Amino acid sequence: MRRLALAAGSAVLATVWLGPFLTEWRGSFASGMVAHMAVVAIASPLIAVGLPDRLRPGPGMPAALPVLASLFELLVVWGWHAPAARELVESWSAITVLEQTSFLAAGLLLWSTSFAGRERIHAATGAGALLLTSIHMTLLGALLALSPRPLYGAGEITCFGVVLDAGQDQQLGGVIMLAVGAVVYLLGGLRLAGRLLSHEGKPAAT
């Protein structure tokens, strides 16, 4: 199971990083959002599941670490979606590599710490961290989708073989964040919340 998850996560990364999302469609915000969501919400949890034990957080992990990881991801995500940062990503390949590496690092840290440990406190902080991430991705996705003017570039952009204007491209990117990022993190948080409730339902040891 772990090997399969690790292989699947690595395949997602290869598809995103070697495909057209960051090359041919580099100037499209929606294409960049597909790459972003694929890294943090699909590849990262799969790779986190597939990590060998020596690379996984241990049961003695500080309970607050998932929340700190969530805050780190918030800074990474919102920082790279600032218009000035987006312009640098589109202009310089080295900055694109830095952006994608930081997305992967933030995603792996959050998913691996959120599901580490079997104590109630770990389930509680992990659930809170994933739900916090879902909330801030929902907010950012809604702001991007509902913005009255484009924040990134101008003119027409070709993405997924379709010609879009800058506003449509941004709106599509916001919808992708809402449909993938916000939902995946919400589901992860709810799963941990369910684990927390199952702990509460267990009879006390005598």
Taking only the tens place, the pLDDT of each residue in 174-192 is: 999 999 999 999 999 999 9
Q: Residue 57 falls within a domain, yes or no?
A: no
Q: What is the pLDDT of residues 116-132, one digit of tens each?
A: 877 788 889 999 999 99
- The whole-number pLDDT of residue 206 equals 37
The range of the structural domain enclosing residue 155 comes to 2-52+62-200
Q: Residue 206 falls within a domain, yes or no?
A: no
Q: Is the pLDDT score of 173 beyond 60?
A: yes
Average pLDDT over residues 128-151: 94
Average pLDDT over residues 108-113: 94
Q: Residue 17 falls within a domain, yes or no?
A: yes
Report percent pLDDT > 70 for the chain. 94
**175: CB partners within 8 A, 6+ apart:** 141, 145
Q: How far is the C-alpha of 56 from the C-alpha of 34, rounded, in Å?
A: 27
Q: Residue 94 falls within a domain, yes or no?
A: yes
**3: CB partners within 8 A, 6+ apart:** 50
The number of distinct structural domains making up the chain is: 1
Q: Residue 205 falls within a domain, yes or no?
A: no
